[in-house]
A and B are shown apart, each in its own frame.
Chain A
Amino acid sequence: MIVGEQKPLEEIMALLGDARKVLVAGCGTCVTVCFAGGEKEVGILASALRMKSKLEGHPMEVDEVTVQRQCEWEYIDPLKPRLKDYDAVLSLACGIGVQAMNERFPDVLTLPGLNTTFLGLPMEQGVWEERCQACGDCILGLTFGICPIARCSKQLLNGPCGGSQNGVCEVDPDIPCAWQLIWERAIAFGQVERLLEIQPPKNWSKSRDGGPRKIVREDLRLTHTE
């Protein structure tokens, strides 16, 4: 899932500037699960904004709404009639949700209340770790299900590097060496020879090198363009 983290209150206040009527808009999917931008966090932030703005002498009216998914038109379209009442929307969805709002409702500025951090996994209550960088050409099949693009600090395709010490990455002792993990799994499966093959440079054209990416599935489209 997409993992995000709320921006500091000061920064959010600065983003909102002179706005007097604000709608705080949460998202009921990824950011709810990571306790950053669901209904609960919307309630807390809205209350905090009302109090802080009042204490600073320019009270804001702050309303709250949470939609199931801010990254789909069908979930955000029902917000349309309400939006004309607001000077700004503060979205607690990920960057996709914020952009969906701006694209769909160009007359009102939707601002980000979160930093969208990574694609990852909740490890335990309160701990999330990055797992994927959406590189567009998945190599997990070569690396025994452990991603060196997201989890090796150097994104090596042939690892580990010389800095791997006792299973730990030289960049930070809190980072387990992804390549150590890959090798351990290869050994467990009795397939180390698969790692001895040198991997050629990765095809990054499917990643960000070609500019923004897009998927078009003609088999799913309702209107075909020949």
Chain B
Amino acid sequence: MADLLEQIGLGGERIQMVNLSSAMAIQFAEHVEEMTKRVQELGPNPLRDG
């Protein structure tokens, strides 16, 4: 999937698979933060708008 996004030209880092148990609330929040930061660095999806 990441490879396909790379081929399309969107960047493979825009997707993230994570494994969590139902008790891992803290890790969930961390993953969200990390992903947000990563995507902020990548910038908006160039397909947004229109």
Which residues of A are at the interface with B, using a C-beta cutoff of 8 A? 8-10, 44, 48, 51-52, 54-56
**A46 to B: closest C-beta gap in Å:** 12
| Chain B positions 10-50 with a Cβ under 8 Å from a chain A Cβ | 10, 46-47
**A163 to B: closest C-beta gap in Å:** 36
**A54 to B7, Cβ gap below 8 A?**
no
**B29 to A: closest C-beta gap in Å:** 30
In the complex, chain B residues whose CB is within 8 Å of the CB of A54: 47
Cα A55 to Cα B10 with chains together (Å): 8
**A51 to B47, Cβ gap below 8 A?**
yes
Can you list 14 pairs linking A and B with CB atoms under 8 Å apart?
A: A8-B7, A9-B7, A10-B7, A44-B4, A48-B8, A51-B9, A51-B10, A52-B7, A52-B9, A54-B47, A55-B10, A55-B46, A55-B47, A56-B9
Minimal Cβ-Cβ distance residue in B for A44? B4
In the complex, chain A residues whose CB is within 8 Å of the CB of B9: 51-52, 55-56
**A198 to B: closest C-beta gap in Å:** 51
Cα A55 to Cα B14 with chains together (Å): 15
**A48 to B47, Cβ gap below 8 A?**
no
In the complex, chain A residues whose CB is within 8 Å of the CB of B4: 9, 44, 48
Cα A56 to Cα B46 with chains together (Å): 10
**B7 to A55, Cβ gap below 8 A?**
no
